[in-house]
Every structure is written in structure tokens, then in C-alpha cells.
Amino acid sequence: MSITSKQPINQSPPWKKCSVCQDSSSVFKSPRDFSQHLRDFHCSKEGGSY
């Protein structure tokens, strides 16, 4: 049996919670939700692009 994941079994994926936000109650359902959160709250937008 081959294990391809390098992440410990008892640890959640890194995209589940934002380590920057103080509010640790927000849990993301997918990597896409997490990336949208990063764009909305942690990126600066200048001239129409991030």
C-alpha cells in the first residue's frame, strides 16, 4: 500500500483555516473558498488585478 500524502492523518489540510486571521472559527469547505478568502481579506488590489 502506497501513501502519497505527506500530511499527518490527524492534522487537517492547511487550507481549512486561515492562520493570519484572529477569528479561528471560520473553517473553509474547499481550497477554492480559502483562496477567495485570501483575495478578499489579505490581498491588495490595484488597477483591476491582484
d(CA 38, CA 36): 5
Taking only the tens place, the pLDDT of each residue in 2-50 is 555 565 677 889 999 999 887 767 899 999 999 999 999 999 877 766 5
Nearest by Cα to 38 from 25, 5, 10, 26 = 26
**Rounded Cα gap, residues 7 and 20, in angstroms:** 20
State the cell numbers at 13. Answer: 489540510
Q: 17: which 3 cell numbers?
A: 483555516
pLDDT at 48 (0 to 100):
65
pLDDT given at position 34: 95
